[in-house]
Structure 1
Amino acid sequence: MEQRQAIVAVLRRGDRVLAIRRGPAVARPGYWQPLSGRLEPGETQEQAVVREVREEVGLTVAPLAKVWESETDDHRFRLHWWTARADTGEVVPDPDEVAETRWVTPEEFLALDPVFDGDREFFERILPEL
């Protein structure tokens, strides 16, 4: 089975990152995670970051850098992790996809439950180095 490509958008405001709780219309609702979404045909990773963030939480962001790659625990998706600046604007979640949002420190993210193992690894190992 071919792996699909997806982005993870690590939105930063000061020392905090935007965490979302997955909404009722998506797989595995209730999990906390950074924003993510699949790439559409012909789309660059940067374009996907901008589009997914706008669709899911209504923010306009500037992608900064790709900082990591991982795959989902079921191996269906290769995840391209990008940092992005989200200095201004109001978070307006799409209620189907996003049940709740919080700006959290890395420590606060690791205390959320449930979270995916790959996201936990990012917050423990990758983010502190950025």
Structure 2
Amino acid sequence: MRELDRPEAIIAILRRDDRILVIRRGPQTRRCGYWAPLSGTIEPGESQEMTLVREVREEVGLLARPVAKVWECDTDDGLYLLHWWLADVEPGEMTLEPREVSEARWIRPEDFLQLEPTFEKDREFFERVLPGL
């Protein structure tokens, strides 16, 4: 598959104070049950920032403000190109989309490494990339 044919997705690193939002992927997602930051596929005509705002609103009902793209990598199966974005969120209660999100937690970044199961690239981000930001 050519690089340009591969689907792309965003990973939203949502910050609130010293916490990061992570979710347990819901029953209608690939790899249901995995802990991960919010993510979503970029739709035709959308920018990465637009995708981030839409996915956060759809999956947890919060208003996000993209701050900066901080990393890029492939998924562990090589099917998607991932664009990692830091984002701030407005105060408010979460409303989870139950097909896509089974559970959501605001955690300290170092606590992510205690969650199981997680994706290899997510662990790499929390271990190697996030501490340098």
| Pairing 1:57–2:55 present | no
Tell me if the contact between 1:53 and 1:60 (Cα under 8 Å) persists in the aligned partners.
Answer: yes
State how far apart, in whole Å, the 1-side matches of 2:87 and 2:73 are.
18
Among 16, 23, 28, the alignment partner of 2:26 is: 23
Q: Secondary structure at the match of 2:111?
A: helix
Q: Does 1:73 align with 2:90?
A: no
Shift of 1:48: 0.3
- Listed as ranges, the gaps of 5+ residues in structure 2 are none
SS in 2 for 1:107: helix
Distance 2:132 2:18 in 1: 13
| RMSD over equivalenced CA pairs, Å | 0.7
Structure 1 gaps, min length 5: none
1:1-130 equivalences under 5 Å are: 1=1, 2-130=5-133
Q: Give me the TM-score of the superposition, normalised by structure 1.
A: 0.98
Residue 12 of structure 1 contacts residue 87 of structure 1 at CA under 8 Å; is this kept in 2?
Answer: no
**Aligned residue type for 1:36:** S
Question: What does the per-residue CA deviation read over 1:14-41, in whole Å, with 9 as the maximum and x for residues that have no partner?
Answer: 1110000000011110000000000000
Check the 8 A contact 1:62/1:86 in 2, yes or no: yes
Contact 1:55–1:94, Cα closer than 8 Å, also in 2:
yes
- Shift of residue 75 of structure 1? 0.5
TM-score (norm 2): 0.95
> What is the aligned length?
130
